[in-house]
Structure 1
Amino acid sequence: MSRAAVIGSGAWGTAFAKVLAEAGADVTMWARRETVAASIRDHRVNEGALPGVKLPERITATTDLAAAVSGAELVAIAVPSQTLRGNLAEWAGAFEPGSTIVSLMKGIELGTTKRMSQVIVETAHVEQDRVVVVSGPNLAPEIAAEQPAATVVAGTDVERCRAVQHAMALPYLRPYTSADVIGCELGGAVKNVIALAYGMAVAMGMGDNTKASLITRGLAETARLGAALGADPLTFAGLAGLGDLVATCSSPLSRNRTFGEQLGLGKTLEQAQAAARQTAEGVKSCLAIRDLARAHGVEMPITEQVERVCHEGGDPRVAVKLLMGREMKPE
């Protein structure tokens, strides 16, 4: 992979660009703001996203989308999931024919309940086999700091997956391939919602039994939805399932967990947004995931309670009581 582009200059987009460059590609990043692009080009830093991280010489940046993707064999997209459709409507046709489109996003689209790869296929007018999903326990600051981690590259075209695997393989990052796009995308989306619940529990002073129960039962409801949509159940026991869920719930670096802590302290959604200075993906995705589950007759009680706290003004303490008071049943 000699030429790659990364659309988006947030923490994960920047970290992924660093990975691609260190693995041997010339990378052009697209940033919405010229100040960010100039900082990456001229000073090799993106302080707003990854403070203190020096970026490789093989990375440059621009605010011109067409210039960013021109000649790129691989185009990675790392924008907020709920903005993807609108952005792609502007960018459709800009990608090189036959290029591989890599989704770094973890969410379910509001209104359509579609996964990010589905939105890319539909809106960018590309074939399904050109889209590859990267998912796993990949907290951007740790990847940027070159701490050992593993990830999953999922797609319907085995050779494309292998090409992306080799394009991002480094001594500190070990990619595995998978054919289960549905499972990998669901694991990445639902874990954000469970992490919100986990953060609430942390803020309310609940112990390790509570936290372990949230992770375990959160994984169970993710797997139930996955089964209804045709995912491989084994995916949820792997990096894109349990691995990503544990990392996102347990790490203070996780914006979803941190946002959940604000809600657990009794703050409103608006107050939590002000305190966190950004919206966590799970806040919006919980609505879409709830709708997706209801459409397929799947029970997702943790997701339901997170949605009520985030969007209906529910009290986290009442949510816990409702979860504990559900009808007894076999595990």
Structure 2
Amino acid sequence: MGAGSFGTTLAHLWKGAGHEVMLWGRGDNLEKTLKDAHFIVFAIPCQMIRSVLKKINPHLLKKPILINTAKGIEQNTLKLGSQIFLDEIKDSEERFVALSGPTFALELAKGEPSGAVVASKNQSIATQVQQTLSLPFLRLYTSDDVVGVELGGALKNVMAIATGIAEGLGFGLNSRAGLITRCLHEMIKLGVNQGANPLTFSGLSGLGDLILTCTGDLSRNRKVGIELGRGISLDEIKKNLSGVVEGIATAESVHELARKQKVEMPNAEFVYRILYEGLSPRQALKEMLARELKNEREGL
């Protein structure tokens, strides 16, 4: 489900591995696409998941395994993908899988070695997906920490904007290395608050994806941050976007969730204020560096 770059790449790779694959894009026949499907892979933006599920639910006559690759937090509801699926498909919990990790579509398409995580509360389902969809160059690992895997994928997009801003301001590797590390600290804090295993954030769906998205030239979230750091307005940036930048919407969701749960996330908060309140990146930096000195592990 989803004929963007990531969905198209996965469809091509799995078809090449011998699987029968149907690729659905807007306007395609849902009934024909979903008929006899054993796995349904959702490669659509997080903010579109609910509307797509409402459309496909009447066509789910069987009980296929539901695999979500979206990395975000729904605005207004502040829900992760697994929670949205459970809202719309009441019996989805035991057959829901989150697939996440450091996987740029272009590099997957080239067959470059990559790793990702398939997380499910039902480990037999996770293992089935792992064994069926792993490829010679795509190694899948199982996990039972659905919340941790989903949060890692969502939060790293916001943190990549933060790192991009630092890069756009002209700062070097010292600054970016320190920032990425503190961003990981914030991800773990919110994750633990939401019931995730803190160790999940040291894995592929946490640290792995964070490094990729904060440093990779193919990262749209990083590119948005760089342009913000260079003084370009968000409205101007949006005019030239070639695809969805999940971190923009997720920054607002993270702001609301952290405020609601009373979790201090200064880097994520500064990204929110730059995106939605017009705070200048240089003023954000000034305020960040003026914060009270603390123990490195405070909040964990």
Specify if TM > 0.5: yes
Equivalent in the alignment of 1:320: 285
Could you list the runs of 4 or more consecutive aligned residues of structure 1 that deviate by over 3 angstroms after TM superposition?
none
Q: Report if the CA contact (8 A) 1:71-1:96 is conserved.
A: no
Equivalent in the alignment of 1:217: 182
Compared CA separation, residues 310 and 279, structure 1 to 2 (3 A): farther
Structure 1 position 283 matched with structure 2 position 277: no
Equivalent in the alignment of 2:58: 93
CA distance in 1 between counterparts of 2:187 and 2:61 reads: 35
Structure 1 position 132 matched with structure 2 position 101: no
- Residue 231 of structure 1 deviates from its aligned partner by 0.5
Equivalent of residue 269 in structure 1, options 209, 215, 234 = 234
CA distance in 2 between counterparts of 1:127 and 1:213 reads: 40
CA distance in 1 between counterparts of 2:224 and 2:244 reads: 8
AA matched with 2:110: A
* Runs of 5+ consecutive residues of structure 1 not aligned to the other structure: 1-6, 34-62
Structure 1 position 237 matched with structure 2 position 202: yes
Per-residue CA deviation, residues 253-276 of structure 1 (Å, 9 max, x unaligned), is 011111111211111111011133
**Matching of residues 12-27 of structure 1 within 5 Å:** 12-27=6-21
Q: Secondary structure at the match of 2:58?
A: coil
Could you tell me the percent identity over the aligned residues?
Answer: 41
- Residue 243 of structure 1 deviates from its aligned partner by 0.2
- Residue 96 of structure 1 deviates from its aligned partner by 4.2
Q: Secondary structure at the match of 2:237?
A: helix
CA distance in 2 between counterparts of 1:168 and 1:278 reads: 26
Taking structure 2 as the reference length, the TM-score comes to: 0.96
Per-residue CA deviation, residues 26-56 of structure 1 (Å, 9 max, x unaligned), is 00000115xxxxxxxxxxxxxxxxxxxxxxx
- Residue 95 of structure 1 deviates from its aligned partner by 2.3
CA distance in 2 between counterparts of 1:163 and 1:237 reads: 24
Worse-superposed segment, 142-151 or 161-170: 161-170
Equivalent in the alignment of 2:25: 31
Q: Secondary structure at the match of 1:234?
A: helix
- Residue 204 of structure 1 deviates from its aligned partner by 1.3
**Matching of residues 71-90 of structure 1 within 5 Å:** 71-90=36-55
AA matched with 1:76: V
Q: Secondary structure at the match of 2:116?
A: strand
Q: Report if the CA contact (8 A) 1:77-1:103 is conserved.
A: yes
AA matched with 2:23: M
RMSD: 1.2
CA distance in 2 between counterparts of 1:16 and 1:322 reads: 43
Q: Report if the CA contact (8 A) 1:20-1:167 is conserved.
A: no
- Residue 132 of structure 1 deviates from its aligned partner by 0.2
